[in-house]
Amino acid sequence: MTSYRFHTRVPATPDEVWKVLSAVDTIPDWFPGVDQATYDGTHRILKLANGGTLVARVVNQDEELRRFQYSFVEGMPRPIDFHLGTLDVIEDGSGSLVIYSQEIRPDELGDIVGPAVAGGIGGIRDYFSI
């Protein structure tokens, strides 16, 4: 299994950050390459700039912990044996610490997921730096 963990600090309160990161319609505002995001009550469906579609089952959305977890179920270029993505928003002095981690198998999918998540954490940083 391949694991990634990225983090950034942003100058916004945890509640402000959580409001953005937990809302499906804001994903295109901070995640590079996502043009549209919708939620059907079970899955987040991401329409990508390259014409592809990723479908992620929502595993956990904990408002108190400010933790969101999801698992890709469709759209990767090969079958996924296991996937878990986690976004955590933690109070950090006058701002927030955002931790974005991924676990995926087969390992070869890490070549796609790692750079995408690095772009996502950069997008979060940039979104809150404006």
Number of domains in the chain: 1
The CATH number for 92's domain is 3.30.530.20
Provide the 10 A C-beta neighbour count for residue 92. 14
pTM greater than 0.85? yes
pLDDT of 76:
87
Contact 2, 104 (CB under 8 A): yes
pLDDT < 50 stretches in the chain: none
- The predicted-structure confidence for 76-97, as pLDDT tens digits, reads as follows 888 899 999 999 999 999 899 9
Query: Which of these, 57, 51, 16, lies nearest to 36 by C-alpha position?
Result: 51
**Residue 53 sits in which domain range?**
2-129
Rounded to a whole number of angstroms, the distance between the first and last alpha carbons of the chain is 36
pLDDT of 130:
67
58, burial (CB in 10 Å: exposed 0-12, middle 13-18, buried 19+): middle
